Amino acid sequence: MVNVILPDGGKMEVSEGITAKELAEQIGPQLAKAAVAVKINGQLKDLSSPINPDSDNRDIQVQVITLKDGEGLEIMRHSCAHVMAEAICSIWPDTRLVYGPTVEDGFYYDIDLDESIRPADFERIEQKMTEIAKADQPFVRMELTRDQAVKKLAGDKYKTDNINRADSDVISFYSHGEGFEDLCRGPHVPSTGKIGSFKIMSVAGAYWHGDPTQKMLQRIYGTAWASKKDLDDYLQRIEEAKKRDHRVLGKQLDLFSFNDAGPGFAFIHAKGMIIWNAIVDFWRGVHDRYGYQEIRTPIILNEELWHKSGHWDNYKENMYFTNFDETDFAIKPMNCPGGCLVYKTRQHSYREFPMRVAELGLVHRHEASGVIHGLFRVRQFTQDDAHIFCTPEQIESQIISVIELTFEIYKAFGFEDFHIELSTRPEKHIGSDEIWETATNALKEALRRKSIEYKINEGDGAFYGPKIDFHIEDCLKRSWQLGTIQLDFSMPERFGLVYTDKDNTEKIPVMIHRAVLGSFERFIGILIEHYAANFPVWLSPEQVRILPISEKTNEYAKNVGNILKNAKIRCSCDFSDEKINSKIARGHAEKLPYMLVVGPKEVESQTVNVRIRGMKETKTVSIDSFLEIVKSKIADKNIDLAF
User: 590 and 550, same structural domain?
Assistant: yes
Nearest CA among 295, 294, 387 for reference residue 336: 387
The secondary structure of 149-190 as a DSSP string is HHHHTTT-HHHHHHHHH-SSSEEEEEEETTTEEEE------S
User: 217 and 273, same structural domain?
Assistant: no
Rounded to the nearest integer, the mean pLDDT of the chain is 93
Radius of gyration over every alpha carbon of the chain, rounded to an integer in angstroms = 30
Confidence of residue 407 (pLDDT cuts 50, 70, 90): very high
User: 138 and 21, same structural domain?
Assistant: no
- Ramachandran class of 78: left when φ > 0, alpha when ψ lies in -120 to 50, beta otherwise: alpha
The structural domain count of the chain equals 4
Nearest CA among 66, 59, 27 for reference residue 44: 66
- Cα end-to-end span (Å), the chain: 69
Region 433-456 average pLDDT: 88
* CATH code of residue 48: 3.10.20.30
Partners of 140 in the beta sheet? Answer: 175
pTM above 0.75, yes or no: yes
In degrees rounded to 5, what are phi and psi of residue 139?
Answer: -80, 125
Tens of pLDDT along 302-341? 999 999 988 888 888 999 999 999 999 999 999 999 999 9
Q: Is residue 448 situated within a structural domain?
A: yes
Quick one: pLDDT at residue 94?
A: 95
User: 460 and 334, same structural domain?
Assistant: yes
Region 36-57 average pLDDT: 87
User: 185 and 83, same structural domain?
Assistant: yes
Of 204-208, 231-235, 248-252, minimum mean pLDDT range: 204-208
Q: Is residue 253 situated within a structural domain?
A: no
> At residue 464, does pLDDT exceed 90?
no
Domain that holds residue 344: 269-531
d(CA 615, CA 633): 17
Contact criterion met (CB below 8 Å) for 183 and 154: no
> At residue 166, does pLDDT exceed 90?
no
Nearest CA among 43, 45, 47 for reference residue 20: 47
Count of residues in the chain: 643
Contact criterion met (CB below 8 Å) for 143 and 185: no
> At residue 54, does pLDDT exceed 80?
no
Query: Which are the contacts of 3, defined by CB distance < 8 A and separation ≥ 6?
Result: 11, 12, 13, 58, 59, 60
Confidence of residue 8 (pLDDT cuts 50, 70, 90): confident
User: 570 and 474, same structural domain?
Assistant: no
Query: Which are the contacts of 400, defined by CB distance < 8 A and separation ≥ 6?
Result: 446, 449, 450
* CATH code of residue 177: 3.30.980.10
* CATH code of residue 433: 3.30.930.10
Q: Is 403 helix (H, G, I), strand (E, B) or coil?
A: helix
Q: Is residue 609 situated within a structural domain?
A: yes
What is the dihedral sign for C-alpha 560, 565, 571, 577?
positive
Burial of 419 (0-12, 13-18, 19+ CB in 10 A): middle
Contact criterion met (CB below 8 Å) for 425 and 461: yes
Rounded to 5 degrees, what angle do the CA atoms 47, 50, 54 make? 125
User: 448 and 380, same structural domain?
Assistant: yes
Confidence of residue 563 (pLDDT cuts 50, 70, 90): very high
> At residue 15, does pLDDT exceed 90?
no
Query: Which are the contacts of 636, defined by CB distance < 8 A and separation ≥ 6?
Result: none
Among 502, 531, 560, the domain-final residue is 531
> At residue 596, does pLDDT exceed 90?
yes
- Tell me what percent of the residues of the chain surpass a pLDDT of 90: 79
User: 485 and 404, same structural domain?
Assistant: yes
Burial of 72 (0-12, 13-18, 19+ CB in 10 A): buried
Confidence of residue 16 (pLDDT cuts 50, 70, 90): confident
Tens of pLDDT along 475-507? 888 899 999 999 888 889 999 999 999 999 999
User: 505 and 615, same structural domain?
Assistant: no
Q: Is residue 461 situated within a structural domain?
A: yes
- Tell me what percent of the residues of the chain surpass a pLDDT of 70: 100
Query: Which are the contacts of 460, defined by CB distance < 8 A and separation ≥ 6?
Result: 423, 424, 426
Among 531, 557, 589, the domain-final residue is 531
What is the dihedral sign for C-alpha 354, 359, 364, 368?
positive
User: 583 and 523, same structural domain?
Assistant: no
User: 436 and 372, same structural domain?
Assistant: yes
Catalytically annotated residues: 336, 365, 383, 385, 387, 467, 513
Contact criterion met (CB below 8 Å) for 96 and 158: yes
Q: Is residue 250 situated within a structural domain?
A: no
Q: Is residue 8 situated within a structural domain?
A: yes
Cα dist from 400 to 265, 296, 331, 355, 488, whole Å: 35, 25, 33, 15, 16
Partners of 552 in the beta sheet? Answer: none
User: 222 and 349, same structural domain?
Assistant: no
3-state secondary structure 552-592: HHHHHHHHHHHHHHHCCCCEEECCCCCCHHHHHHHHHHCCC
Specify the pairing of strand 180-183 against strand 170-176. antiparallel
* CATH code of residue 625: 3.40.50.800
Q: Is residue 150 situated within a structural domain?
A: yes
3-state secondary structure 502-560: CCCCEECCEEEEEEEEEEHHHHHHHHHHHHCCCCCCCCCCCCEEEEECCHHHHHHHHHH
Quick one: pLDDT at residue 364?
A: 96
Confidence of residue 549 (pLDDT cuts 50, 70, 90): very high
Q: What share of the chain is helix, strand, coil (3-state, %, to 5)?
A: 40, 30, 30
| Count of other CB atoms within 10 angstroms of residue 490 | 21
Burial 547-586 (b: 16+ CB within 10 A, else e): bbbeeebeebbebbbeebeeeebbbebbeeeeeeeebbeb
Q: Is residue 254 situated within a structural domain?
A: no
Residue type, 372: I
Region 30-39 average pLDDT: 94
